[in-house]
């Protein structure tokens, strides 16, 4: 569901497919029920939806449709039950999984030919797959405002563009500014362009400003009927808009709705003088309920790399956009983020089924090994015979090496390797620390891949990553092949005034699960599954026993939660900490009586972080195995303020493994255990994540640890 949707009530009951019969042409879906009338989307008359009859609260029922979910008043809609399952996803678009760049006109860029333009795109951003080329302005071809090799004066010029782009693996998409002054002429430009073989889509730029669409509501339907009559059946037409709430009604979206297939909101945070987060939040609040897939147009000029990275992450992860585009060629000054491959997750149920980085279908993580710069499996040396490496202390709890880059010849080398448990596919990732990793050209070489006699080279721009695992790829490795999976790195950057880091390498075995068992514990060898969750504190008998469900505070015996979770956070904590609590603060008896009490892993998994963080003291994070089944959800647990920590990053723990003791956060707090259960992978990149007063973020990423544990006990309990 959309990130602007409302969390589904726990007592919604059984779902029912139905046709929505609205009193008017549509009905509003709201945050509701009853008193909160903030709109999150709409349901159109005769739309196929999923609704929950048992959720009825004072005349409001819970409804879901594609990316919209919320409450709708029964006074404005009735439902006719049907046996047809409503679609769970939008239809595919020609932008799915792709990065696109907008092109305005040849006179606005340094290049003078299409060939030069393509060569520079391939040089600066080889992962860009689509070019959005302006074909017209109103009823005029774009060539009226351009000249030279790139000017478009009709279908023949579009065909030249298409042929040149296709030769280099790029797609042509046309775009046009609509004005509504000569609708026959505008329809002619669109239909002629759309009928050129290889033109993947046409995007209509509709803006409520002088020189753009000033024709009002009436010409829209006649124009679009002519367009639809003249383009191939099922042809994709996009709709490009200013996403700000103030401009929504001024482009008459309901008139365009029957004729367009996707929305391309111009989310220009720098131009709007807004933050990335607030701009995209408004974009999806305003257009998320329109009922079409959203492919945001992101700002390529005037924006920092960090802002661009944030925009991509929010668009594709939080709001689940299937693709992104960047405005525009000629003003984009840096390509590092634009060229990053998209990590698209199309699983609409990921709020209920959290996961680490996406895996291929019917697979799970088996054996996992981390090789650090100061541990077994790591070798390094210098070509000069001198000590060229510098020791670095990472913020994730382990050390690494780095050195200054050399313009001509490498002075250092390093390699990582591990013993493989068996033949098969392994995901190999490298860790990039937050400091001393400023090279743009770290060249990693992977050896011993099945079917090859040569190394595979993967270039990584270390400068754009901060404390991140960056995948090199998934490789087919043979256990007994010499150097299988060995990773080699030296300094062939050719750079000056930069630094190259030599940090950890992670090997994850990708295990195929063709037919996961229907319950039980007899899983194939090499597959790790969490059989349930226990409390992280208490005696063996207490952890084996029941957790009290009456009230939120008491767990068992003398163990209680002092703070509460999320919207149930005690008022004094909200006032003093200016935050909703992400988990629970577990205390035993009184004062510091629980100092030194053991802390246990609640389920099996891998330790992914343990280090001291400001304010917290020690923070330890465990990524747990899939719950109950190999294809089950993956959760994370976080422990704050411990002392005498017994585990290191990379350690595998079982349910009941002692990982540390209750502490005081190096004397900052009264002894207690801060304990979180996390449903998303936020702690992979930010172990100290703290949403503060952002309650929606707390509820998106975190779950109530007590209720979660009660609901997911081991089946033997």
Query: Any idea of the CA torsion for 225, 226, 231, 236, to the nearest 10 degrees?
Result: -40
DSSP track, 551-619: SSSEEETTEEESS--GGG--HHHHHHHSS--SSEEEEESSTTTTTT-EEE-SS-EEEEEEEEETTTEEE
Q: Any idea what DSSP says for residue 6?
A: P
The pLDDT value recorded for residue 36 is 67
532 phi/psi in degrees, rounded to 5: 140, 180
What is the C-alpha to C-alpha distance for residues 462 and 439, in angstroms, rounded to an integer? 6
pTM of the model: 0.52
Of the candidates 273, 261, 269, the residue with the CA atom closest to the CA atom of residue 231: 261
Domain 16-81 homologous superfamily, CATH: SH3 Domains (2.30.30.40)
Check pLDDT > 50 for residue 342.
yes
Q: For 153-172, what is the mean pLDDT?
A: 96
Residue with tokens 């709430």: 245
Q: Tell me the CATH architecture of domain 540-711.
A: Distorted Sandwich (2.70)
Nearest in space to 240 (alpha carbons), one of 310, 174, 143, 158: 174
- pLDDT for residue 33: 79
Across 207-362, the runs of DSSP E, i.e. the strands, are 237-241, 262-267, 297-299, 324-327
Pick the CATH number of 363-512 from 2.60.120.260, 3.30.40.230, 1.10.3720.10, 1.10.150.120: 2.60.120.260
User: How would you classify the pairing of strands 652-653 and 658-661?
Assistant: unpaired
DSSP string, 233-258: TT--EEEEE---GGGTGGG-HHHHGG
pLDDT tens digit sequence for 349-359: 333 333 345 56
pLDDT at 539 over 60: yes
**Partners of 523 in the β-ladder:** none
CB 677 within 8 A of CB 705: yes
Map out the domains of the chain as residue ranges: 16-81, 99-327, 363-512, 540-711
What are the tens digits of pLDDT across the range 485-523?
999 999 999 998 899 999 999 999 988 776 554 555 566
Report yes or no: 110 and 148 within 8 Å, Cβ to Cβ. Answer: no
Which pLDDT tens digit goes with each residue over 80-130? 988 777 776 788 899 999 999 999 999 999 999 999 999 999 999 999 999
Tell me if the domain spanning 99-327 has CATH number 3.20.20.105. Answer: no
CA-CA-CA-CA dihedral for 645, 650, 652, 656, to nearest 10: 20
Top-confidence residue, 521 or 312: 312
Sheet of strand 26-30: strand arrangement: 39-44, 26-30, 68-73, 60-65, 47-52, 16-22, 77-81
Residue 575 pLDDT > 70: yes
Identify whether the C-beta of residue 699 lies closer than 8 Å to the C-beta of residue 566. yes
**pLDDT per position as a tens digit, 648-666:** 998 999 999 999 999 999 8
Task: Tell me the three-class secondary structure of 179-202, residue by residue.
Answer: CCCCHHHHHHHHHHHHCCCCEEEE
| 323/337 Cα distance (integer angstroms) | 14
What does the pLDDT read at residue 199?
96
């Amino acid at each position: 569901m959309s990130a602007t949707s409302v969390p589904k009530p726990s007592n919604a009951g059984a779902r029912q497919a139905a046709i929505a019969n609205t009193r008017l042409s549509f009905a509003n879906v709201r945050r509701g029920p009853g008193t909160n009338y903030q709109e999150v989307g709409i349901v159109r008359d005769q739309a196929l939806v999923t609704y929950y009859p048992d959720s009825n609260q004072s005349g409001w029922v819970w409804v879901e449709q594609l990316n919209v979910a919320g409450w709708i008043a029964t006074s404005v809609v009735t439902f006719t039950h049907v046996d047809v399952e409503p679609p769970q996803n939008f239809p595919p678009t020609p932008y799915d999984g792709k990065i696109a760049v907008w092109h305005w006109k040849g006179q606005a860029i340094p290049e003078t030919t299409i060939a030069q333009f393509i060569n520079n795109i391939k040089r600066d951003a080889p992962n860009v797959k689509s070019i959005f080329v302006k074909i017209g302005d109103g009823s005029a071809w774009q060539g009226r405002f351009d000249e030279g090799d790139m000017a478009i004066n009709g279908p023949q010029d579009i065909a030249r563009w298409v042929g040149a782009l296709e030769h280099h693996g790029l797609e042509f998409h046309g775009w046009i500014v609509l004005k509504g002054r000569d609708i026959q002429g505008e329809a002619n430009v669109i239909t002629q362009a759309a009928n050129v073989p290889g033109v993947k889509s046409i995007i209509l730029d509709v803006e409520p400003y002088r020189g753009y669409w000033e024709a009002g509501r009436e010409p829209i339907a006649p124009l679009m009927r002519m367009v639809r009559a003249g383009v191939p059946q099922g042809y994709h037409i996009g709709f490009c808009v200013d996403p700000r709430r103030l401009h929504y009604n001024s482009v008459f979206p309901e008139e365009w709705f029957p004729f367009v297939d996707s929305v391309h909101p111009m989310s220009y945070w720098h131009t709007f003088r807004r933050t990335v987060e607030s701009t995209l939040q408004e974009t999806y609040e305003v257009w998320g309920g329109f009922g079409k897939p959203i492919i945001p147009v992101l700002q390529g000029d005037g924006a920092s790399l960090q802002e661009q990275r944030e925009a991509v992450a929010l668009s594709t992860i939080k709001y689940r956009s299937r693709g992104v585009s960047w405005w525009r060629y000629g003003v984009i000054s840096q390509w590092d983020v634009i060229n990053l491959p998209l990590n698209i997750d199309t699983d609409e149920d990921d709020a209920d089924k959290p996961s680490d980085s996406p895996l291929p279908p019917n697979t799970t993580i088996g054996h996992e090994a981390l090789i650090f710069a100061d541990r077994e499996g790591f070798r390094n040396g210098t070509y000069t015979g001198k000590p060229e490496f510098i020791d670095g202390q990472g913020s994730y709890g382990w050390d690494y090496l780095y050195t200054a880059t050399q313009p001509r010849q490498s002075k250092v080398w390093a390699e990582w390797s591990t013993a493989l448990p068996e033949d098969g596919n392994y995901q190999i990732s490298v860790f990039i620390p937050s400091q001393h990793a400023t090279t743009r050209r770290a060249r990693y070489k992977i050896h011993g891949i099945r079917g090859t006699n040569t190394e595979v080279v993967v270039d990584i721009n270390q400068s754009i990553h901060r404390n991140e695992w960056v995948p090199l790829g998934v490789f087919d490795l043979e256990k007994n092949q010499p150097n299988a999976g060995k990773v080699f790195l030296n300094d062939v950057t050719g750079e000056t005034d930069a630094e190259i880091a030599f940090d950890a390498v992670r090997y994850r075995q990708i295990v195929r699960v063709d037919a996961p068992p229907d319950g039980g514990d007899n899983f194939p060898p090499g597959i790790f599954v969490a059989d349930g969750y226990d409390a992280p504190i208490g005696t063996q008998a207490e952890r084996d026993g029941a957790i009290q469900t009456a009230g939120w505070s008491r767990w068992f015996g003398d163990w209680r939660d002092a703070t509460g979770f999320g919207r149930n956070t005690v008022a004094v904590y909200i006032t003093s900490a200016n935050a909703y609590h992400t988990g629970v603060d577990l205390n035993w008896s009184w004062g510091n009586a629980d100092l030194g009490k053991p802390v246990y892993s609640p389920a099996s998994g891998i330790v992914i972080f343990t280090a001291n963080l400001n304010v917290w003291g020690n923070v330890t994070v465990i990524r747990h195995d899939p719950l109950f089944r190999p294809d089950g959800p993956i959760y994370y647990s976080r422990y704050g303020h411990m002392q005498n920590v017994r585990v290191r990053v990379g350690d595998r723990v079982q349910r009941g493994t002692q990982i540390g003791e209750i502490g005081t956060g190096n004397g900052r707090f009264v002894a207690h255990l801060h304990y979180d259960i996390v449903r998303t992978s936020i702690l992979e990149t930010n172990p100290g994540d703290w949403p503060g007063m952002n309650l929606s973020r707390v509820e998106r990423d975190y779950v109530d640890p007590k209720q979660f544990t009660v609901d997911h006990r081991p089946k033997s309990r």
